[in-house]
């Protein structure tokens, strides 16, 4: 009996931060190691180019960096197929066939696309590739006949668009070639989204408010000591707020079971007064260093041989292409586009 298939990935626009780690990487490694699924993990460089077309070198360099983050976090090419999106040309051909099944109006109504267009400030200059990337995403998912796609709640409209395309294709061509995927969402809204060091709801490179898996100990220390806490907690003896205090938020996320009693005691102490921010930040630094030091060490080790990292990506891409090519062949057969067989 074949295993259910999971597809997941990231846009390589820079190194991955700890928001990516707690939001997706940890879960991917867990699913991979359970060995109950066949996992495809991809670097979505073509999707990244939809809004970075004029800076391709940034994307190219980021592919290697994200691959290092994957390996350091625990993804294993012996257990998961790790590949680069642009090396699978079959995905572009599938996208072309799917475009004919989706109206322009439907794309423009996609809530995720509307939100991202507003965030990026495209105005009237929306790149066509960006507008149609839900279709390309459907090609990614269906090419590997993924049963499950782990995504954030904000990506639900994208999964639903893929499901619509699958139903439209299978109905139009009277086939069951394409598999209708299901999203795997966080257990509650807000789960898996780590705020930035400054308290901003989003951790990102552009806001310079993130901790990266590649950060060394000194960098990590500087960032932790600059974190947003309670602006009204001026003196040590002042009562402090833990709501919106990034130090305590991060302690809740990264603290282990054995840390919970200490964290709760610190919260109570901080709220009644007498506990300074420096002490809480030093404790958080210990917690983060415990989690990130092994990842950092593995990353440095993998980085010593980038040739081997790219060799791994090449092998993964070749394997992924075989799967995508088989699906494309079935799609073209269903459409009657096999002229010479």
**Dist. CA 14–CA 66, nearest whole Å:** 7
**154 assigned ligand-binding residue:** yes
Kindly give the pairing relationship between strand 38-43 and strand 80-84.
parallel
Q: Is 179 annotated among the ligand-binding residues?
A: no
- 153 marked as binding residue: yes
Is 196 assigned to a binding site? no
**204 marked ligand binding residue:** yes
Q: Judge whether 203 is annotated as a binding position.
A: yes
The helix/strand/coil state of 300 is helix
List the end-to-end C-alpha distance of the chain, in Å, as a whole number. Answer: 30
Q: Is 86 within any annotated ligand binding site?
A: no
Count, residues in the chain: 341
Q: How distant, in Å, are the alpha carbons of 25, 62, 167, 179 from that of 40? A: 13, 19, 23, 15
Tell whether 194 is in a known binding site. Answer: yes
> Which token pair is 188?
């509650």
Using DSSP bridges, classify how beta strands 80-84 and 182-184 pair: parallel, antiparallel or unpaired.
Answer: unpaired
205 in a known ligand binding site: yes
Residue 80 annotated as lining a ligand binding site: no
Q: Can you read off the two tokens belonging to residue 321?
A: 């292409």
- Taking a C-beta distance cutoff of 8 angstroms, is the pair 67, 55 a contact? no
E strand or H helix that includes residue 315: helix 306-335
Question: At a CB cut-off of 8 Å and minimum separation 6, what does 316 contact?
Answer: 77, 81, 82, 83, 84
In angstroms, rounded to a whole number, what is the distance separating the alpha carbons of residues 61 and 295?
20
CA-to-CA distance for 161 and 138, rounded, in angstroms?
A: 8
111 is in an annotated binding site: no
User: Which contacts of 260-268 are long-range, i.e. CB under 8 A and separated by 24 or more positions?
Assistant: 267/242
Q: Which residues are annotated as a binding site for ATP?
A: 11-13, 19-20, 152-154, 194, 202-206
Q: Which residues are annotated as a binding site for L-tryptophan?
A: 140
Q: Which residues are annotated as a binding site?
A: 11-13, 19-20, 140, 152-154, 194, 202-206
């Amino acid at each position: 009996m074949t295993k259910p298939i999971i597809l997941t990935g990231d846009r390589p626009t820079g190194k991955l931060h700890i928001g990516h780690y707690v939001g997706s990487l940890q879960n991917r490694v867990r699913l991979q190691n359970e060995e109950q699924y066949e996992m495809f993990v991809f670097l979505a460089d073509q999707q990244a180019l939809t809004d970075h077309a004029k800076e391709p070198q940034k994307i190219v360099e980021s592919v290697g960096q994200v691959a290092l983050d994957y390996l350091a976090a625990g993804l294993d090419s012996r257990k998961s197929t790790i590949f680069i999106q642009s090396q699978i040309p079959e995905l572009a051909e599938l996208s072309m066939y799917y475009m004919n099944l989706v109206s322009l109006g439907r794309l423009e109504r996609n809530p995720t696309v509307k939100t991202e267009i507003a965030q990026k400030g495209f105005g009237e200059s929306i790149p066509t590739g960006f507008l149609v990337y839900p279709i390309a995403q459907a090609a990614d998912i269906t090419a590997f006949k993924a049963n499950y796609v782990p995504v954030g709640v904000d990506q639900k409209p994208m999964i639903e668009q893929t499901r619509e395309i699958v139903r439209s294709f299978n109905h139009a061509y009277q086939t069951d070639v394409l598999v209708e995927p299901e999203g795997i969402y966080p257990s509650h809204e807000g789960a898996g989204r780590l705020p930035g060091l400054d308290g901003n709801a989003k951790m990102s490179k552009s806001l310079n408010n993130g901790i990266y898996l590649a950060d060394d100990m000194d960098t990590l220390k500087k960032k932790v000591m600059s974190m947003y806490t309670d602006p009204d907690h001026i003196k040590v003896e002042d009562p402090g707020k833990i709501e919106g205090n990034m130090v305590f938020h991060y302690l809740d996320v990264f603290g282990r079971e054995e840390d919970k009693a200490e964290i709760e005691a610190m919260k109570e102490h901080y709220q009644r007064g007498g506990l300074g921010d420096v002490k809480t930040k030093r404790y958080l630094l210990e917690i983060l260093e415990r989690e990130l030091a092994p990842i950092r060490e593995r990353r440095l080790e993998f980085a010593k041989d980038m040739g081997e990292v790219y060799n791994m990506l090449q092998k993964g891409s070749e394997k992924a292409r075989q799967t995508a090519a088989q699906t494309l062949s079935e799609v073209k057969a269903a459409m009657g586009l096999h002229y010479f067989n």
